[in-house]
Structures are given as C-alpha cells and as structure tokens.
Amino acid sequence: MRYLITGAGQIGTQLAADLTAAGHGVTVLRGGAGAVPGAAVRSGDAGDWDALRSAAAGAAAIFHCIHAAYSAGAWSRELPQRETAVMDVAAGLGIPVVFPESVYAFGRGARDLDEETPIAPVSPLGRVRARLLAARAAHAARTASIVASDLVGPTARPKASVILATVLRPAAAGRRALVMGDPDAPHAVTYLPDLARAMAAAVPLAEPGGAVLVAPTAPARSQRRMAVDAAAAVGRAPAGVGRIPSAALALGASVSPATRELFRQRYLWNAPSELRPGRLTVESGLEPTPWENVLREWAGAGSAKHSAA
C-alpha cells in the first residue's frame, strides 16, 4: 500500500516511520523541505488542491496531520480550508482521510470520554475543533477522527507536549516539576506510537458522516505520579511537584497568545481526564502500551539528554 501524510510534526513523523517500517510506501507533503526518514517528501501546501492531487495519486488513504500555531485565531484561519481541500481531493479519488483529534471539542466531557460523548466545547480552541468535526461529518469524503489526549513518545516535542515539557523532562533532569492544574487529578496521556497504530487501523473504519474513534490510551494517572515515575526511569530521586499558580498563568495570558489558550484550557487540568476504550480496542484489538513500557522506552532513547535538559 501507499499512503499520503500531510504534515511532518510529531504525529506525521511517527506515522511515517511506522508505515515505512511495515513495508508501505509513504509520501509526505509538508511546508518545508526537510527529510522524513523512509518517506518521499514533497514541499507544498496542504490547502493546494493541485499539490494534493499530485501527491495523493495512487494512495490508499490520506493521513492529515498538519497543525498551526497554538491559538484559536491561527486555527480558524489555517485549518478549515486545508481540511476541506484534503477531503475534496480524497472524495474525488475515492479514498478515506484519517485525522488525529484532540479532546478539546468535548469540553468537560473529557473528564470521562468515550465514543458517545457529545461535542460540547467550552473554550475558543474547543469551538474550532467542533467546527472541524462538523465539517468532516458534512463532507462527502469518508473520514475517521482519532481522539487522543496529551501526547508523549519518541517524536514528541516540548512545544507541542505539555506533559513532556512540564512533567517528564524536568523530573528526569532532577528538577521540580511545575504542572498545570491539580497535580493529583488523574490525567490521560496517549503514546504517539499508539496513536499512529490507531490511525493506520482506522482506514477501513472511515465512513461518510465521519467516524469518531478513541485512540488506545492507558489508564490515567496523576501528574505527580508521572513525575515520580519519570525520575525513577532515569535513576533519580523525585524532586517534587509544584502547581503553576493561576495568577501567574493569567499574567502570562495577557502577553502570550499560547499561554492565553493554555489558561482557557485549564479546565482539563483542574479535574480528572480519562479516555475510555473504544472500537479500535474492543473490535480491532489495539491495546495501549503500558505506561511502564512508555517510560522505559523514553528513558532508554535518551536518558542523558533528559538528565541534561
């Protein structure tokens, strides 16, 4: 099989690596010209119908993995038109589109989210995600949206992974972790290779009207527990966990668009957040990687780097 991936961030890069390792042909359409190991790279805009048609010729599916700066304004300007272009091209070719999706559109439903949880956004970012999901449902293309929580894994990047930036890396470096929200509230974390496996497995489940599926995600644990585990994974004693004061976040929100959005998303961190197994686990047999294995692989991939971070 051959597949098209749009975007080469933390999700697209992981997906490309896994698909090529499984013997599939992969083309990556990205804004820059940087190499993606194992994949043929084309430089272009995922909102360009002609570039998409050319890149998608002969593909069995499109995995749409682009993103935009962490602000509702940027998401509103940059994401809808590109998703429409991808779905238009896919519908014309008769192939499905698989999207990674966050929990934002479900608002406080993320406290205990399953595949029946209604869309009910409570933040500007959540409202953008809800509009994207509605557009997928209304389009003629067959689509599947794979809902994941905060991401960790080999291709995770601190700027895109709150857990990596505020919990795992500081704890593994022997520093106190300063976390969002309640450090003792269970918070689901999705492993990037599990999300990639789920997206690949979702290709035959894509449907008109848009399938919404939950990525295999290990049982939630608190940020405090994650910090202790990360320190232990690299042989360090835990240095403790503190909570970023709401006043400090509010002050940062007044000058930083990204911090402003995090402040608006704080409801996700002040209460439990759990993802329940869905069709990909119950019907397709995909199980989440145990947390202990996630940490072992993360630490083994670069414990010296983590310690020095």
Q: pLDDT tens, 20-34?
A: 999 999 999 999 878
Burial of 48 by CB count in 10 Å (0-12 exposed, 13-18 middle, 19+ buried)?
middle
Is pLDDT above 60 for 148?
yes
pLDDT score of 223: 97
Averaged pLDDT for residues 239-264:
91
Above pLDDT 70, what percent of the chain? 97
pLDDT score of 267: 96
Q: If you search the block for the tokens 């389009």, which residue do you land on?
A: 139
Residue 61: phi and psi, rounded to 5, are -165, 160
Q: pLDDT tens, 180-221?
A: 999 999 999 999 999 999 999 999 999 999 999 999 999 999
Distance CA 150, CA 164 (A): 9
pLDDT score of 304: 36
pLDDT score of 16: 98
Q: Which fold has domain 2-156+189-219+273-289?
A: Rossmann fold (3.40.50)
Q: pLDDT tens, 293-308?
A: 999 999 887 643 544 4
- Domain ranges, ordered by start, for the chain: 2-156+189-219+273-289
Dihedral sign for Cα 131, 137, 140, 146, please.
Answer: positive
Token pair belonging to 189: 């974390």
Name 263's bridge partners. Answer: none
Is pLDDT above 90 for 249?
no
pLDDT score of 302: 60
SS3 per residue for 144-183? EEEECCEEECCCCCCCCCHHHHHHHHHHHCCCCEEECCCC
Q: What is the mean pLDDT of the chain?
A: 95
